[in-house]
Structure 1
Amino acid sequence: MLEFARNICSDLESAQAREWLVTNGIGGYAMGTVGGPRTRAYHGLLVAALDPPLGRTLLVSHVDET
């Protein structure tokens, strides 16, 4: 488990400079910044490899809080 201190998460510039990545081992992944905003075209909460090993498709780009 990777943890970030409060001073990093509360500073938007520091939080956007740090990224996270989770892969599923078959070509799909989830990737974003610690701060939340997508700063790159390939950031997404669910990117699936529908035609492995290429053919990745962005299925879930973001979730809005209410």
Structure 2
Amino acid sequence: MVRTALFEAAHIMLTRATRFSSLKHWALDVAKRRGMKRAKVALARKLGVVLHRMWVDATEFRWSKAATMA
């Protein structure tokens, strides 16, 4: 069920989300090179890795890299 939820989150992030993030930009670059289906799978995996690191480190998600610099 987690796999399905991650894929659905990637699909929504690429198709319906209006707020732009570095993850979306990365996935759209992958989509240009490899196709939208592979980009969704790659983004789902990347989201899983990010969520796991957030869980292990107990950190919050940041939309941009600018927040880390400040």
Give the TM-score band, short-chain normalised.
under 0.3
Higher strand share: 1
Higher relative contact order (CA 8 A, sep 6+): 2
Please identify the structure whose Cα radius of gyration is greater: 1
Higher helix share: 2
Taking structure 2 as the reference length, the TM-score comes to 0.24
Taking structure 1 as the reference length, the TM-score comes to 0.24
